[in-house]
Structure 1
Amino acid sequence: MTADDRSSPLMSEEQILAAPESEYMNDAQLAFFKARLIELHDTTRERIREVKEHMQDKPDLADFNDRASWEEQWALSMRIVDREQKLLPKIIQSLERIRLGEYGYCIESGEPIGIPRLLARPTTEYCADVKNIKEVGEHLFKG
């Protein structure tokens, strides 16, 4: 981040949504998404750390039902950690795409992904049309 990035306030979601298409992925919008991705990275790492810390505190459970309940909670926590750990590289890739000037554009078609989609999922790499085609293809090949 440059000194200019730190001194000017970030745009709000409302400002980004209200901006004309001609301003798509301008410097202010890129700064907004960069800050959002950095925050997402930090909070994701913190959640992983907290869950791992919590999982290390295995209680002494003599009751079978309490033990089964704890093991179910542990398994759920493991799934959460796994999912969060898979998100971290996607965040880093998105930050790299910002650096390269490619963020906000579909990696397959080159079309704009769109502000609402990026706000909902800042690590997305595909526009809605390409993502839908990919999902239909995945569904057809699974079954």
Structure 2
Amino acid sequence: MSVDIPATEEELLAMPDEDYMNEAQLGYFRRLLLKEREEVETTLEEMRHGLGTAESSGDDSDRAASEEELRYTLRQADRETRLWRKINATLDRIDEGEYGYCDETGDPIGLKRLLLRPTATLSIEAKQRQEQQENHFARRRGGQ
């Protein structure tokens, strides 16, 4: 049996609430995540290529500028690698039937939130609680 995967966000959002995380919606997010993973992989490959061709000659200011650019590229590569891992973990969640539901509460995360952040694992309420706790602990550490 073939499932019609929504082509647009509007089609996805027009689906009834009782259809939450049906095959069509899962297919939409799988396609979205696979596209995003491909973009991340392309970016990482470009970074690897750029690192391989980086120059280290020139005067001290040229070398300093090159080193700063290298640090920036490595930080960006680290962020992209973390995103790549998160996308893969999210694709696993789709395969396991856990996608779209909050890790903390088990409640639906919601289509609008998933469209904004397809790798989300927490509902907006759970994420806000987590951030409040992090801020609370950060303030307590800073005040000691």
Matched residue, 1:92 = 88
| Residue 93 of structure 1, CA deviation | 1.4
| Residue 10 of structure 1, CA deviation | 4.2
1:42 lines up with 2:38 in the alignment:
yes
In the alignment, structure 1 segments of 5+ residues that lack a partner are none
Cα contact 2:56–2:66 (8 A) shared by 1 = no
Q: Percent identity?
A: 37
Q: Distance in 2 between matches of 1:60 and 1:92?
A: 35
Cα contact 1:11–1:28 (8 A) shared by 2 = no
Alignment partner of 2:2: what SS?
A: helix
Q: Tell me the matched-pair count.
A: 139
TM-score when normalising by structure 2: 0.87
The verdict on how the C-alpha distance between 1:10 and 1:19 changes in structure 2, with shifts beyond 3 A counting, is: closer
Q: Distance in 2 between matches of 1:114 and 1:61?
A: 52
Matched residue, 1:4 = 2
Greater length-normalized contact order (CA 8 Å, ≥ 6 residues apart)? 1
1:16 lines up with 2:15 in the alignment:
no
Matched residue, 2:100 = 104
Structure 1 vs Structure 2 CA RMSD: 1.8
Runs ≥4 residues deviating over 4 A: none
TM-score when normalising by structure 1: 0.87
The verdict on how the C-alpha distance between 1:82 and 1:118 changes in structure 2, with shifts beyond 3 A counting, is: same
| Residue 9 of structure 1, CA deviation | 5.2
